[in-house]
Chain A
Amino acid sequence: MTGTLLDDLYRDILLDHYRAPRNHRGIAAPTCSADGANPLCGDEVHIDVAVAGDRIVDIAFGGHGCSISQASASMMTEYVKGRSVAEARAGVEAFQQMMVTAQAAGIEGFDDIDALLGVAKFPARVKCASLAWKTLEQALAGEGGAVTTDERSAEHVRGI
């Protein structure tokens, strides 16, 4: 039964995205980008977005972290690429709702992402899955500047 619980969390599609992340690269001339961190886990994600008109024409991510944070970032980039900024924002909202309610979002294009549903049962891991989405939201709000999703990123400690 412990296997069932773990299999629920680590679905095959999630592990596939972790091992072969999509859009794991940089963008030469992003129109906006953001950095996100879960300082307590050490998960870090960097997101570059290229917006033309109201459309996300390219998106890429970098960074490192656990399988859930990285797979979620990979799935997020696949979902938003080619969509409008408004659709991307709706996707962020739908994802956050999914983590809160533990119900499938049931929206078009979320097929792989629904595999992250199991994460909602593990409160300690929700922040891992949410990191890339929150960072995307910040990037889209950032008007081309880089922002950080978590202000506890321990600048004090890095100053040695």
Chain B
Amino acid sequence: MTLTAHAEPGARLPFDLARIRRDFPILRREVAPGVPLIYLDNAATSQKPVQVIAELTRFYRDHNANIHRAVHTLSVESTELYEGARAKVAAFIGATDPREVIFTRNTTESINLVAHGWARKFLRAGDEVVVSEIEHHSNIVPWQMLRDERGIVLRYIPMLPDGTLDLEAARQIIGPKTRLLSITAMSNALGTIVPLEVLIPLAKVQGAVVLVDGAQSVPHLPVDVRTLGADFLAFSGHKMLGPTGIGVLWGRLPLLESMDPFLGGGDMILTVSMERSTWADVPAKFEAGTPNIADAIGLGAAVDYLAALGMDEVRRHEIEITDYALRRLGDVPGVTIFGPPDVRSRGGVVSFALEGVHPHDVGQVLDTKGVAIRTGHHCAQPVMTALHVPATARASFYIYNTVAEVDTLASAIESAAAFFHRGGVGI
């Protein structure tokens, strides 16, 4: 018996917004009586379709067992499903060898895995790691920790006022001492799509290794590691319709093989004696202990869903809705939109400020209208510092969002302005 997740692999479905919305049960709930949910916090986490929820349930109901270690039927099935999910993820990002896909908890753990397993082993004092000013904290803090521990030098490609990176500065910063370029493909705070096709060759010419933080790009843009030119790609399952607690590190096989393990324990060894142990092959070397079997399988179902839609169609939908949102919100008096003005240079993220109203208060008023957005620094404090704002309000879109929802967002922002400017009456 072959255990596939759902539908036929490779079957392509038309991008039918009404049908897509029916797949997400949470979109039918109300946040208060008569107030339907409008979920615009997708850069933080996405909602889950019934296909993913059903796959999780099906695994626990019908197949649950530990993997790799038993001859009994359930264990064989679990192993087949888990490794099947790895193959699906590999295919989704264009990796030819599923062994190059390591399951982790999330993007943060994936980046830390490279910091511990690769950088700690191969970098020396004075070696330079280059990141950018628009990174999520998860791609800053591990390198600061390594700097403090090992004396590496951490350098930042600066952000320009429009939220794009200063490529001229990048040409100066990436140089012979650069050993690692660790860079986001898309800013979670501003939506900026980083021109990796420019930056990665600059690092490669210097012989540097390249890690791409794909937490925002893999869920929203077509990504193919065969053309990306990077050595590592880190991303999270929960932002791409999958469960929380499952993430991925893709890496080139020779690099992964050269690395030290991150955690020691069961499942990552070849042999253990009282004196010493030898490591299992990739990917088991990096998956110590019982892994997150069910959620990996759930991620496999999520990848099936996205692959059936087609990532080019996902991107097309998000350009359409973001373009509408930029124009619609841009017309609201008092609204300042941050980030690149050109919709082709940004993902489905609109970070904004409302004059005279703190983002936190904007978010509170929007919540009473059912509109869920994010407010705060979005784990990107250097971006906030560069913009001279303490925080922003951020709406972020995904496959199920509609222009009608953007209209509700815009009128809710107008309500927030009216509420705070008039003194709290008549909302």
Contacts and interface: CB of A to CB of B under 8 A. Distances in A.
A158 B385 CA distance: 9
Interface string B200-236: 0000000000000000000000000000000000000
Given A2-B427, A154-B137, A9 B364 contact: yes
A14 to B, nearest CB: 8
A154 B424 contact: no
A41 B426 CA distance: 27
B364 A2 contact: no
A66 to B, nearest CB: 4
A106 interface: no
Contact of B137 (A5, A11, A157): A157
A66 B137 contact: no
A125 B363 CA distance: 11
Interface residues of A, number: 31
A64 B376 CA distance: 13
A90 interface: no
Given A41-B376, A125-B364, A156 B141 contact: yes
B141 A128 contact: no
B369 A2 contact: yes
Contacts of B365: 6
Nearest to A153: B381
Which of B33, B133, B361, B375 is the most central at the interface, judged by chain A CB atoms within 10 Å of its CB? Answer: B361
B140 interface: yes
B384 interface: yes
Interface in A23-40: 39-40
A7 B424 contact: yes
15 contacts: A1-B32, A2-B35, A6-B368, A6-B419, A7-B427, A10-B424, A12-B423, A15-B423, A15-B424, A41-B360, A41-B391, A42-B384, A42-B390, A156-B141, A156-B144
Interface of A: 1-3, 5-7, 9-12, 15, 39-44, 64-68, 122, 125, 128, 154, 156-160
